[in-house]
Amino acid sequence: MTGWRVWAHSAFYGVGLILSSRPAAAHLVQTGLGPVYDGVAHFVVSPEYLAPIVGAAIYAGFGGKAPARRAIVMLPLFWFAGSLLGELPRAPPLILPTWLVLIGIGAFVAADLPLPAALRIALCSMVGIALGYSNGLIAAGAADPLRSALGATAAVFIVTSLASAAAAATSGWIRIVFRVLGSWIAASGLLALGWALH
């Protein structure tokens, strides 16, 4: 095949791909399984949401079984409330910087600060409502934002249940592994800060 034929075939296929493409939805994950699964997928593939939720659940679990149980309820509940607020038609775009949330919750986990259970749950609630609000602002552009929020909330519930229960049951060197994970969360926040300043 000569050079001009290769070029013509490439151009033909390239134009065909461009004309057959579908519109892109910025940062909205579309699984094709419906808005609930879209919400679940969006949460799972977004490390800026997943890492702080895992960190908050671990920190609640470090306080023992009672804070871990409360976090299982409060973190998803405040996430859902924040999502509903973010989906309001005239919701102001007040988003807590990702790097701040990551550094903050990562530092709490890494340091394993001995705070009372009520403060641990208050921290979980603040993380939940802040990240939920941010998620709600994004999900407002979805086809069915309420169901998308329900899907994301279900994912938050599952992740919180697993992480807080695992952290509450740990001791010794396994607890140190969780603290190292907290330092990685904080380090990812520092990377996000550097990227934002760049």
Q: Is pLDDT of 10 > 90?
A: no
Residue 18, domain member (yes or no)? no
Residue 185, domain member (yes or no)? yes
Residue 23, domain member (yes or no)? no
Percent over 70 (pLDDT), the chain:
82
Residue 15, domain member (yes or no)? no
Structural domain of residue 42, as residue ranges? 35-197
- Tens-digit pLDDT profile for residues 98-155: 888 899 999 999 998 888 999 999 999 999 999 998 888 887 766 777 888 888 999 9
**Domain total in the chain:** 1
- Tens-digit pLDDT profile for residues 25-44: 444 555 556 778 888 887 88
Please report the pLDDT score of residue 47 as a whole number.
Answer: 86
Nearest C-alpha neighbor of 61 from the set 128, 130, 159: 159
Give 188 or 172, the one with higher predicted confidence. 188
Q: How far is CA 178 from CA 145, 153, 181, in A?
A: 34, 24, 5
Q: How far is CA 77 from CA 117, 127, 133, 188, in A?
A: 18, 11, 12, 26
Please report the pLDDT score of residue 165 as a whole number.
Answer: 93
pTM reported for the whole predicted model: 0.79
Please report the pLDDT score of residue 144 as a whole number.
Answer: 77
Nearest C-alpha neighbor of 76 from the set 146, 158, 168, 162: 158
Residue 99, domain member (yes or no)? yes
Residue 133, domain member (yes or no)? yes
The pair of structure tokens assigned to 182 is 């907290």
Q: Helices 145-168 and 35-44, interaxial angle, to 10°? A: 40
Residue 19, domain member (yes or no)? no
Residue 66, domain member (yes or no)? yes
Please report the pLDDT score of residue 178 as a whole number.
Answer: 93
Provide the pLDDT confidence category of residue 157 given band limits of 50, 70 and 90: very high
- Tens-digit pLDDT profile for residues 49-96: 899 999 999 999 999 999 999 999 999 999 999 988 888 878 777 777
